[in-house]
Chain A
Amino acid sequence: MKRLTLVLGLLSLAALLAACSGATAADATPTPASSGGASSGSVVVVAKDIAFTTPQITVPAGKAFELTLDNQDGAPHNVAIYTDASASTKVSVGEIFSGPGQKTQSVPALTAGTYFFRCDVHQNMTGTIVAE
């Protein structure tokens, strides 16, 4: 009886650990950075070698999302979203910070359309956000 209880206990512990580790993995990788999609309400943009490796991001229209800048450069970067390439109307401007590091900004719900983003320090670092 004691042995059975021990086995059941170990099995329960293993199941609990598996469930916890599964949840952690899901939290750590909200969105594949390479695709730039925002299926789970968050998106990652990588800045490396004074360029964004994800020049196009697709997000659901009408839904606020979290945008994480993964700055892999030593240089300071941010993600500033504007309505168009003239960069005259701001939508969301992230904090400028030096890498390596990550910072997340909350982006308000976007109406369907194409938006422009750039690094405000290095204005040749640009990309587009498609809300659909």
Chain B
Amino acid sequence: MLAPRSALRTSDVVVRGLIVALTLATAYIHSTLGGLLFTLNAVGYVVAAVAVVVPLAIAVRFRWIVRVGLIGYAATAIVAWAVMGPYYTTAYIAKAIEVALIVTLAVDFARHDGNPFGVARRELAAFTALVSRRRSTAGAAV
């Protein structure tokens, strides 16, 4: 189900476009490395790039999870590389792109979602309300 059109500012479009470009850039680098692990990593980045912009209602509703998830994904890739290597030019370029991606995602998160603790509180409240509604509906049925 498509989400209703929202009014994105030019700066939003620029930031979102930068996120997609950086994500696809690192996906491309990983896709050239061969081997299952790098290929899966590349596929993961492509899926994330789609999730960042896809106008489906559920994706828009939970875009903050996509942002946090992609930050975690890129951070995991950086930590794994720091531990295992290899340390050569292409790897340094890929990691620089991933650092830039994390920063851009953090900026996007701050612009759209605000304080992460506030988001957590809001989502917890929404979840609690949903559970209460379900319980009251079930009670009425009995």
> Which residues of A approach B to under 8 Å, CB–CB?
50, 73-76, 78, 96, 98, 120-124
Interface residues on B, range: under 10
Give the contact stretch, choosing among B29-37, B98-106, B108-116, B130-138.
Answer: B29-37
User: What's the count of A-B pairs with C-beta under 8 Å?
Assistant: 29
- B residues near A96, Cβ cutoff 8 Å: 86, 88, 90
CB of A122 within 8 A of CB of B90, answer: no
Please measure, in the bound complex, the distance between the C-alpha atom of A98 and the C-alpha atom of B31, giving whole angstroms: 13
> Which residues of B approach A to under 8 Å, CB–CB?
32-35, 84-86, 88, 90
Separation in Å of the A105 CB from the closest CB of chain B?
14
Please measure, in the bound complex, the distance between the C-alpha atom of A124 and the C-alpha atom of B36, giving whole angstroms: 11
CB of B84 within 8 A of CB of A75, answer: no
Please measure, in the bound complex, the distance between the C-alpha atom of A122 and the C-alpha atom of B85, giving whole angstroms: 10
CB of B86 within 8 A of CB of A73, answer: no
* Smallest CB-CB A-B distances: 5 pairs: A75-B34, A120-B86, A96-B88, A122-B35, A50-B35
Please measure, in the bound complex, the distance between the C-alpha atom of A123 and the C-alpha atom of B35, giving whole angstroms: 10
Please measure, in the bound complex, the distance between the C-alpha atom of A76 and the C-alpha atom of B90, giving whole angstroms: 10
Instruction: Kindly report which residue of chain B lies nearest to residue A96, judged by CB atoms.
Output: B88
- A residues near B86, Cβ cutoff 8 Å: 78, 96, 120-121
- B residues near A121, Cβ cutoff 8 Å: 33, 35, 86
Instruction: Kindly report which residue of chain A lies nearest to residue B90, judged by CB atoms.
Output: A76
- B residues near A75, Cβ cutoff 8 Å: 32-35
Instruction: Kindly report which residue of chain A lies nearest to residue B36, judged by CB atoms.
Output: A50
13 A/B residue pairs, CB under 8 Å, sorted by A: A75-B32, A75-B33, A75-B34, A75-B35, A76-B33, A76-B90, A78-B86, A98-B32, A120-B86, A121-B86, A122-B33, A123-B84, A124-B35
Instruction: Kindly report which residue of chain A lies nearest to residue B84, judged by CB atoms.
Output: A123
